[in-house]
Amino acid sequence: MSPSGPPVPPDLDRPHFIGIGGAGMSGIAKILAQRGARVAGSDAKDSETAQALRALGATVHIGHDAAHLAPDASAVVVSSAIRAQNPELVAARERGLPVVHRSDALAALMEGTVPIAVAGTHGKTTTTSMLAVALGTLGLDPSYAIGGDLDAPGSNAQHGGGGIFVAEADESDRSFHRYAPQVAVVLNVELDHHANYASLEEVYASFEEFVGKVLPGGTLVISSDQSGAVELTSRVRDIGGLRIVTVGEAEGADVRITRINPRGLTSEVSVLLDGRMLTFTVSVPGRHYAHNAVAALAAGIAAGAPARNLASALAKYTGVRRRLQLKGEAAGVQVIDSYAHHPTEMAADLAAIRQATGTGGTDGGPQAGRGRVLVVFQPHLFSRTKELGTEMGGALAAADASLVLDIYPAREDPLPGITSELIVDAARAAGADVTAVHDRDAAVDLVAGMAKPGDLVLTMGAGDVTDLGPLILARLAD
């Protein structure tokens, strides 16, 4: 394609990405390729994302080897998950190549635009996606970088010519401190990422630093309802030149949600803004997604988009992969995939599923007799399980039955004594029907054998549990 807009940043005209298939890394690689850079990289395994990058002209190697680093590479891009002994990183340092963290690469791409950075312990991907889709629907052609695919492989990022850049801002490793947004969004503030944050106070301090990076005259859009966000608002009110816009159901919110009306797998949302009532449709179920949409609305308005048109455009958002994504139906059983891995997210998605589909328990309650919610949950990270395992177990009590897989380690080494049994014990203590399953194939067989017509199976977690959805559907079909 013929690149337009801001030029390729220095040192990134011939970049090599280690872990190019990751959600954050692949988005930056895609934008650079669309701007005309000669992109290369490697990943542990082939994927649809790797194939989408190749279609843009990128060179993608499978496996990690020093030989994959091209002789004329201008820089190596890494994430916090890349270990120091990675052979490509070792080779880059030996050659004296610049090693660029992915957040610095993203910050460089945002220069020369109106940057919008969406932060929060959860909800970032959905809110960023909603705003990107709505701005695109209005013809504003934004650039965006999202931590998940919209509706096709590779759709997590786009180079646009409209001058607005919408980016997901990750607090997990404090990399969101690298951005200087014109509009910052903070959806919520909770303790997570325990390998990097020892206390909630550290989390507050980190978000304060992020808000402090907002450009003079810029806007902070922040929740009026979530307790952590309310506390953060009180801490940043005295930052000079910062305009604060609160959003939520609280009586004094600047953009106040007056009604959320569930309609099957959608919701109708009404908000009061500057004395005017706006009503629009959110095409995904659940109160938390309605709140995400209103935050996206406020952020887009702060960036100059017309309020009423933007509200209508939000209805064009149809979802992100792994965010309550319907994988299919077989033998009268729906299989839905959820990225939820924090207890708050787990509880919110389970509540949304019950409300949207009418599935419920067999305890004689209002949903009794209308099918069950069966969960296959995979804990993500040993550190998170250590600190939040009890709360995860409590969240699973909202399901009719759950299977809990072994912990997905991602970048972490095991911690002594920390296993998925911690979650299982907590769930049983909360009265849940839960079973520990240590073999993935056995989990597929077990949940398919449990499911009956009218039930719903929810695969849940941030690891590779998502791969089980198609296998469960195939087993149900058999």
pLDDT tens digits for 422-474? 999 999 999 999 999 999 899 999 999 999 999 999 999 988 999 999 999 99
Strand boundaries in 249-361, DSSP class E: 255-263, 266-273, 276-282, 323-330, 333-338
Domains of the chain: 15-100 (3.40.50.720), 113-316 (3.40.1190.10), 323-477 (3.90.190.20)
Lowest mean pLDDT among 187-191, 196-200, 419-423: 196-200
Segment 257-277 shows an average pLDDT of 90
Q: Which residues of 308-336 are buried (b: 16+ CB within 10 A; e: fewer)?
A: eebbbbbbebebbbbbbbebeebeebbbb
Residue 61, pLDDT > 50, answer yes
Segment 406-426 shows an average pLDDT of 91
**Total-model pTM:** 0.76
Between 387 and 231, the higher pLDDT residue: 231
Residue 235, pLDDT > 80, answer yes
Residue 152, pLDDT > 80, answer no
Tokens of 100: 């660029």
One-character DSSP codes across 48-100: HHHHHHHHTT-EEEES--GGGS-TT--EEEE-TTS-TT-HHHHHHHHHT--EE
Q: Identify the pLDDT of residue 144.
A: 95
Alpha-carbon distance values, 87 to 44, 69, 352, 367 (Å): 13, 10, 44, 55
Q: Identify the pLDDT of residue 224.
A: 97
> Of the candidates 463, 221, 450, which has an alpha carbon nearest to the alpha carbon of residue 339?
463
Between 67 and 324, the higher pLDDT residue: 67
pLDDT tens digits for 281-291? 998 877 888 99
Instruction: Please name the amino acid found at residue 327.
Output: K
Cα(188)–Cα(203) distance, rounded to whole angstroms? Answer: 11
Q: Identify the pLDDT of residue 222.
A: 98
Contact present, 180 and 115 (Cβ < 8 Å): yes
Residue 4, pLDDT > 50, answer no
Say whether 385 counts as a known binding-site residue.
no
Tokens of 289: 């997604």
Q: Identify the pLDDT of residue 320.
A: 64
At 18, give phi and psi (nearest 5°): -95, 115
Between 459 and 5, the higher pLDDT residue: 459
Contact present, 280 and 311 (Cβ < 8 Å): yes
Contact present, 88 and 65 (Cβ < 8 Å): yes
Burial (0-12, 13-18, 19+ Cβ within 10 Å), 94 = exposed
Instruction: Please name the amino acid found at residue 48.
Output: E
Q: Identify the pLDDT of residue 262.
A: 83
Orientation of helix 287-302 relative to helix 124-137, angle to 10°: 50
Residue 368, pLDDT > 90, answer no
Predicted confidence band at 16 (pLDDT cuts at 50, 70, 90)? Answer: very high
- Catalytic residue positions? 124-125, 168
Say whether 126 counts as a known binding-site residue.
yes
Tokens of 48: 């649809």
Residues counted in the chain:
478
Q: Identify the pLDDT of residue 355.
A: 74
Q: Identify the pLDDT of residue 295.
A: 98
Q: Identify the pLDDT of residue 291.
A: 95
Predicted confidence band at 122 (pLDDT cuts at 50, 70, 90)? Answer: confident
Residue 438, C-beta contacts closer than 8 angstroms, at least 6 positions apart: 405, 406
At 467, give phi and psi (nearest 5°): -70, -15
Residue 256, pLDDT > 50, answer yes
Say whether 122 counts as a known binding-site residue.
yes
Segment 47-61 shows an average pLDDT of 93
Segment 88-115 shows an average pLDDT of 95
Say whether 125 counts as a known binding-site residue.
yes
Segment 91-111 shows an average pLDDT of 95
Say whether 233 counts as a known binding-site residue.
no
Q: Identify the pLDDT of residue 179.
A: 96
Predicted confidence band at 149 (pLDDT cuts at 50, 70, 90)? Answer: low
